[in-house]
Amino acid sequence: MDTAPPDRSPTLDDVAERAGVSRSVASRAINNVGNVSAPKRAAVQRAVRELGYIPNPSARALATNRIGAVVLAVATDQPGIFADAFFAQVIYGISVALEPTDFTLTLVLAGRPEGRAKLQQIVRSRRADGIMLMNLHGDDPLTKLAEQATVPVVYGGRPLRGEPRWYVDTDNRGGARLATEHLVEAGHRRIATITGPLSLEVAEARYRGFRDAMAVAELPAGRVEHADFSEAGGAAAMTRLLQAYPDLDAVFAASDNMAAGALRVLRAHGRAVPGDVGVVGFDDLQTAQHTDPQLTTVHQPVPALGAEMTRMLLSVLDGARPTPLILPTRLVVRGSTRTTDRR
């Protein structure tokens, strides 16, 4: 079998010669642009494999008018994000969706001015084909940057204000309603909630879902403390709830991490779960299966959130105009709640 000379890497001309096509046809077939017949495309692909040809990124960018990179920008500057199971699963979903493509992923922590400046530089210098944004707070400067971007922007979760053109979100309000309804159906009447930061739409939506279910059950919804989606924040909020409402008999925490912190505090105060207090979380991360007792929680398809964001962005780059997508949630009942009404 003929190969390129051993002292150099195979070139596009080598591929074209091996495939028996012109250089331009070989380029179009490799970069998947323009019209190339199926037999010629197959011949080029075979030549690429036989020669071990690796396309030049700069040449490919010129041929396709693409850089071959997308950005995930997260509105945080906290290093703890790399240990957060939620974001780890989102990034996993993005990576899986990018595997069959030639795109690479760049992660930018854009919670500080330096991070935002870096993202702005990437956009202005056209070093990425598109952006995915996550964790935007109500007045986040990234919103303005996204509005001015000359590349497509897909949001992971809706921002608190405005309605972006493209986003993928989870049914946070419906999931929180399911969680609270489960507590009501189990006979709980003095139900509290621990919210996330209400400057985030995800936290606000879960708080609305809690209030919806409490209103339908004609129960007071005033037992509320706010936290930051972390286990430590959940523990601190649970401590405040017990001080303010020592008679509470259930808690809906708007994340599994916060629910794990709440369980720890309840145990320290001698409250049996679920005998004295029922607890429900949100996310269905691995944390939920490692608490004692295992956590009843609202499952959201976290890897799918990352994957669908990516697919939406790639479809926009291919000329499609997708509609926003809301992913479903469901309740997973485990040991932290009762399953029957004990009124």
Which domains, ranges and CATH numbers included, belong to the chain?
A: 12-64 (1.10.260.40), 69-169+303-326 (3.40.50.2300), 172-301 (3.40.50.2300)
Give the single-character DSSP code of 50: H
| Contact (CB, 8 A) for 283 and 315 | no
Q: Which two tokens stand for residue 296?
A: 């009843």
The DSSP element (H or E) to which 124 belongs, if any, is: helix 113-124
* Per-residue pLDDT in tens (0 to 9) along the chain, 343 residues: 455 555 567 888 888 999 998 888 887 787 766 678 888 889 988 988 888 887 765 555 545 566 789 999 998 877 777 778 899 999 999 999 999 888 899 999 888 888 888 888 888 887 899 999 998 777 778 888 888 888 999 999 988 877 889 999 999 999 999 999 999 999 999 999 999 999 999 999 999 999 999 999 999 999 999 999 999 999 999 999 999 999 999 999 999 999 999 999 999 999 999 999 999 999 999 999 999 999 999 999 999 999 999 999 999 998 899 999 999 999 999 999 987 654 4
- Nearest alpha carbon to residue 71 among 134, 113, 114: 134
pLDDT value at position 342?
Answer: 46
Q: Length of the chain, please? A: 343
Nearest-angstrom CA–CA distance, 93 and 59: 29
Describe the strand order of the beta sheet including 224-226 as a list of residue ranges. 224-226, 191-195, 250-253, 278-283, 296-299, 330-332
Residue 338: phi and psi, rounded to 5, are -75, 155
Q: Which two tokens stand for residue 247?
A: 């008679």
Q: Which residues, at least 6 apart from 242, have a Cβ–Cβ distance to it below 8 Å? A: 248, 265, 266, 269, 271
